[in-house]
């Protein structure tokens, strides 16, 4: 909970919200003032509370602009937080029993959130209108006063020539496109200019392929396949069906205002040093590459690169990243977990039981909750809504933290037709449900609610299972990044579990697990140690040894892909006892001594494997000299050179006769008569 003394201004909104001042005081502590119309006749109470210099939490978001204006005049806007206890709690058939929830919402709203980093997108209004017919030309004509327009017609029919050339009208088909608002790059085939002598219809000259074009906006009225994946999320790319006049009208209105500098949130924080994508040109983890809907992520050597101008902020990459190289920044996972911790601790302190968390976004989820409160029965008293930027940003660490803190259930609210792919989110929920069931919390406790209907939301929440909330809730705080949060959350989930299990098998792609290593086939070459990006695999500088720490394994697969003996396979699972055991020796051998000088070098298994591989399979180690040459492999580097010189054989060439000297010829001739 917030440590600074804080005044709570709880308004009943003209008596429509049944306030439980006792529950709010038990949960929030500090001074709690109750009001009936704080935004109008009791506004001076807000001014008086501001004058004390203490931080404030106001239980109203509808009138937040008014309160913010008053606070700015008094120089105290940075001390005011707002919580919605009306639609989220009070306007409900269970509003009279929602005191603990109101306390939780008020306390959580006071948790500070870090500032949002942004990237700038510059648009000078250079726009390409891409279409087939007069619809594109008419749209261009209406936008010409606002934008620098060029029209590109793909496979046009008979188009009447304009009376005056207000903007270029060209022919061509876009075959490649990349970029974003302010920086699009297009590749165009069948590119041609119109003949100025065109009479009844536009006549185009000789066409060529491979033309290049740049622009700030692309207005697509072609009615064909979108130029970009997840095109609705690509800033600066506007697309409408040319047969839909309303959609075209909406597009024209939007395009006219896309000139200037626009600040876009930097949704993802990325640390290249933590990325497990590749090592030594061997590919390992590709989770983010497989999930990104906009193509904002691309390989960049040993790691990936994320283009913040293209990123649409779904957060799927951050939710799936096992190392924490990619983490969500709106807000960071640790800041979100602090708010969830405060929410659940306050709810319990105020007398609440068996909380179910409802995670939703601001555009769709908040509106649906408001509609349910205004026109339906409202949210149940035990359902605590939490607004996030995108539901798809929720990873397994957030869900584990919820239940470790004492939640009895959780639901993620999305649209009936989500704007982001939910496949990754479903996998996270499956993982969480498998672990929760194995630990005795209950079955199917985390669900996905996909609806645009407030009544359907009410039915889903009424049917949502509530499990056995832990009697030993955690209170941890983590500031070591996403991977640290992932480890701590699952350790605490295990510690607080009603019936903690040992090893829980998980589906492929889990962010943690073990390795199945065939030690009989392992030669301790240690190539896997060099490839491991998290140091889960390690060696010993003093003796041949391979060790493994399961708590550090992110299941990237680099070790298995690198192993020359192909004796490593992944074993996705959650095994907290193995985590607690720490570094364990997988295989060790005594150093192999040189058979001539006794100097230790290499390992017996490696030398025997090399000898077995080469025997009778390579010309150097075949024939009558094979065993002698194989024996050289059991010598250290110094003795090996000596053996080759002393024994008089060249290991790089086949056997050949020794050179004959004059003395040899004379001996062969015998004594002279």
DSSP states of 282-342: EE---HHHHH-SS--EEEETTEEEE-TTT-----HHHHH-SSSSEEEBTTBHHHHHHHHHH
**Residue percentage of the chain with pLDDT more than 90:** 82
Structure tokens at 361: 């976004």
- Residue 407 pLDDT > 60: yes
pLDDT confidence bin for 4, thresholds 50/70/90: low
Q: State the pLDDT at residue 152.
A: 98
> In DSSP terms, which residues pair with 434 in a beta bridge?
none
The pLDDT value given to residue 2: 43
**Of the candidates 103, 100, 84, 117, which has an alpha carbon nearest to the alpha carbon of residue 360?**
84
Residue 39 has pLDDT above 90, yes or no: yes
Cα–Cα distance measured from residue 38 to residue 36, given in angstroms and rounded to the nearest whole number:
6
Q: Is residue 370 over pLDDT 60?
A: yes
User: 3-state SS of the chain: helix, strand, coil percent to 5?
Assistant: 35, 25, 45
Q: Quick check: 560 pLDDT over 80?
A: yes
Find the mean pLDDT for residues 300-306.
Answer: 96
Interatomic CA distance for residues 492 and 512, integer angstroms: 16
**Residue pLDDT, tens place only, 178-215:** 999 999 999 999 999 999 999 999 999 999 999 999 99
Angle between helices 396-404 and 333-349 (to 10 degrees): 20
DSSP H or E stretch at residue 27 = helix 21-28
- Residue 363 pLDDT: 94
3-state secondary structure of 513: strand
How far is residue 91's CA from residue 341's CA, in Å, rounded to a whole number? Answer: 25
Q: What is the pLDDT of residue 1?
A: 42
Residue 113 vs residues 90, 108, 410: alpha-carbon distances, Å: 25, 11, 22
Task: Give pLDDT tens digits for 262-283.
Answer: 999 999 999 999 999 999 999 9
Cα 564 to Cα 666: distance, rounded to the nearest angstrom: 55
Task: Please identify which residue in the block is written with the tokens 């075959």.
Answer: 175
> Contact 58/9 with Cβ under 8 angstroms?
yes
Q: What's the rounded mean pLDDT across residues 514-527?
A: 92
Q: Which pLDDT value is given to residue 618?
A: 72
* Angle in degrees, 0-180, between the axes of helices 64-73 and 43-51, rounded to the nearest 10: 40
Domain 337-499 CATH class label: alpha beta
Q: In the chain, what are the domain boundaries?
A: 1-110, 120-263, 266-328, 337-499, 513-588, 593-673
Alpha helices in 564-636 (DSSP H): 576-581, 604-614, 626-632
Q: How far apart are CA 529 and CA 264, in angstroms?
A: 40
Q: Which fold has domain 513-588?
A: Alpha-Beta Plaits (3.30.70)
pLDDT in tens, 611-663: 777 776 776 677 677 777 778 888 787 788 777 776 665 555 555 566 778 88
Q: Tell me what pLDDT residue 619 has.
A: 65
Omega before 487 within 30 of 0, i.e. cis: no
Contact by Cβ (8 Å): 484, 475: no
Rounded to whole angstroms, how far apart are CA atoms 42 and 459? 38
> What mean pLDDT is reported for the chain?
92
Q: Report, at the CATH architecture level, how domain 1-110 is classified.
A: 3-Layer(aba) Sandwich (3.40)
Could you read off the pLDDT of 214-271 as tens digits, one per residue?
Answer: 999 999 999 999 999 999 999 999 999 999 999 999 999 999 999 999 999 999 999 9
Q: Cβ atoms within 10 A of the Cβ of 660, count? A: 9
**Of 422, 423, 430, which is closest to residue 447 (Cα–Cα)?**
430
Asked if 313 and 464 touch (Cβ cutoff 8 Å), the reply is no
In 518-625, where does DSSP find H-type helix? 527-531, 558-562, 576-581, 604-614
Q: How far apart are CA 153 and CA 242, in angstroms?
A: 13
Quick one: which of 202, 203, 315 has its CA closest to 266?
315
Among residues 511, 372, 354, the alpha carbon closest in space to that of 449 is found at 372
pLDDT digits (tens, 9 = 90+) for 135-178: 999 999 999 999 999 999 999 999 999 888 899 999 999 999 99
Q: Based on C-alpha coordinates, what's the Rg of the chain?
A: 35
Lowest mean pLDDT among 33-47, 305-319, 511-525, 601-615: 601-615
The partner residues of 238 in beta bridges, in order of sequence, read 219
Note the pLDDT of residue 375.
97
Question: Per mean pLDDT, which range of 290-304, 386-400, 406-420, 604-618 is the poorest?
Answer: 604-618
Poorest-confidence range of 114-128, 145-159, 389-403, 466-480?
466-480
Based on DSSP, count helices (H) and strands (E) in the chain, helices before strands: 21, 31
- In this chain, the answer to whether the domains covering 266-328 and 513-588 adopt an identical fold is yes
Rounded to an integer, what distance in angstroms lies between the CA atom of residue 614 and that of residue 611?
5
Question: Is the pLDDT reported for residue 295 higher than 80?
Answer: yes
- The Cα 113–Cα 328 span in angstroms is 13
Which residues have a Cβ under 8 Å from the Cβ of 367 and sit 6 or more positions away? none
Beta bridge partners of 593: 600
CATH of 266-328, one of 3.30.300.210, 3.30.70.20, 3.20.20.80, 2.40.160.20: 3.30.70.20
How is domain 120-263 classified at the CATH fold level?
Answer: FAD/NAD(P)-binding domain (3.50.50)
Alpha helices in 134-279 (DSSP H): 134-143, 245-255
Q: Which of 131, 181, 135 is nearest to 151 (CA)?
A: 131
């Amino acid at each position: 909970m917030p440590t600074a003394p804080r005044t709570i201004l709880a308004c009943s909104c003209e008596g429509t919200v049944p306030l439980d001042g006792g529950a709010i005081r038990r949960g929030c502590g500090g001074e709690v003032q109750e009001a009936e119309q704080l935004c109008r006749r009791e506004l001076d109470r807000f001014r008086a509370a501001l004058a004390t210099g203490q931080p404030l939490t106001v239980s109203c978001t509808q009138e937040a602009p008014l309160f913010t204006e008053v606070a700015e005049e008094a120089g105290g806007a940075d001390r005011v937080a707002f919580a919605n206890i009306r639609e989220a709690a009070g306007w409900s058939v269970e509003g009279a029993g929602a005191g603990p929830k109101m306390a939780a919402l008020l306390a959580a709203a006071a948790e500070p959130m870090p500032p949002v980093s942004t990237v700038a997108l510059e648009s000078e209004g250079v726009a390409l209108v891409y279409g087939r017919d007069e619809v594109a030309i008419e749209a261009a004509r209406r936008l010409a006063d606002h934008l620098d327009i060029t029209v590109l017609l793909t496979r046009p029919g008979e188009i009447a020539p304009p009376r005056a050339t207000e903007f270029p009208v060209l022919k061509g088909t876009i075959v490649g496109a990349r970029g974003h608002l302010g920086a699009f790059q297009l590749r165009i085939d069948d590119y041609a200019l119109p003949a100025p002598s065109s009479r009844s219809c536009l006549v185009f000259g000789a066409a060529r392929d491979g033309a290049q074009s740049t622009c700030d906006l692309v207005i697509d009225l072609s009615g064909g396949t979108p130029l970009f994946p997840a095109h609705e999320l690509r800033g600066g790319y506007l697309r409408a069906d040319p047969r839909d006049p309303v959609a075209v009208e909406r597009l024209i209105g939007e395009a006219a205002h896309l000139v200037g500098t626009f600040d876009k949130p930097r949704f993802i924080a990325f640390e290249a040093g933590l990325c497990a994508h590749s090592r030594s040109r061997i590919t390992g983890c590709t989770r983010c590459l497989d999930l990104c809907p906009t193509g904002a992520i691309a390989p960049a050597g040993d790691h990936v690169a994320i283009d913040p101008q293209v990123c649409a902020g779904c957060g799927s990459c951050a939710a799936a990243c096992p190392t924490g190289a990619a983490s969500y920044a709106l807000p960071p996972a640790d800041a979100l977990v602090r708010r969830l911790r405060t929410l659940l601790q306050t709810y319990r302190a105020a007398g609440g039981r068996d909380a179910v968390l409802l995670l939703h976004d601001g555009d769709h989820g908040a509106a649906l909750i408001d509609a349910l409160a205004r026109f339906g029965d409202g949210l149940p008293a035990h359902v605590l809504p939490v607004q996030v930027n995108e539901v798809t940003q929720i990873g397994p660490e957030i869900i584990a933290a919820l239940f470790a803190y004492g939640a009895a259930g959780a639901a993620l609210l999305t649209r009936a037709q989500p704007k982001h792919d939910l496949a990754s989110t479903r996998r996270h929920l499956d993982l969480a449900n498998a672990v929760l069931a194995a630990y005795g919390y209950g079955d199917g406790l985390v669900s996905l609610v996909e609806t645009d209907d407030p009544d359907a939301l009410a039915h889903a929440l009424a049917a949502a299972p509530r499990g056995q909330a832990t009697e030993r809730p955690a209170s941890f705080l983590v500031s070591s990044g996403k991977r640290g949060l992932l480890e701590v959350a699952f350790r605490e989930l295990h510690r607080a579990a009603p019936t903690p299990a040992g090893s829980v098998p998980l589906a492929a792609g889990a962010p943690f697990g073990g390795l199945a290593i065939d030690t009989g086939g392992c030669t301790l070459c240690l190539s896997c140690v060099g490839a491991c990006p998290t140091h889960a695999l390690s060696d010993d500088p003093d003796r041949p040894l391979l060790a493994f720490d399961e708590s550090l394994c992110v299941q990237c697969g680099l070790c298995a892909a690198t192993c020359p003996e192909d004796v490593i396979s992944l074993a996705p699972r959650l095994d907290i006892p193995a985590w607690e055991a720490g570094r364990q020796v997988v295989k060790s051998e005594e150093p192999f001594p040189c058979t001539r000088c006794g100097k230790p070098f290499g390992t017996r298994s490696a030398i025997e494997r090399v000898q077995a591989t080469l025997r009778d399979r390579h010309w150097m180690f075949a024939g009558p000299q094979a065993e002698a040459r194989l024996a050289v492999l059991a010598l250290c580097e110094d003795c090996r050179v000596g053996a080759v010189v002393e024994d008089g054989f060249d290991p790089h060439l086949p056997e050949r006769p020794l050179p004959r000297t004059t003395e040899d010829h004379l001996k062969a001739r015998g004594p002279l008569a």
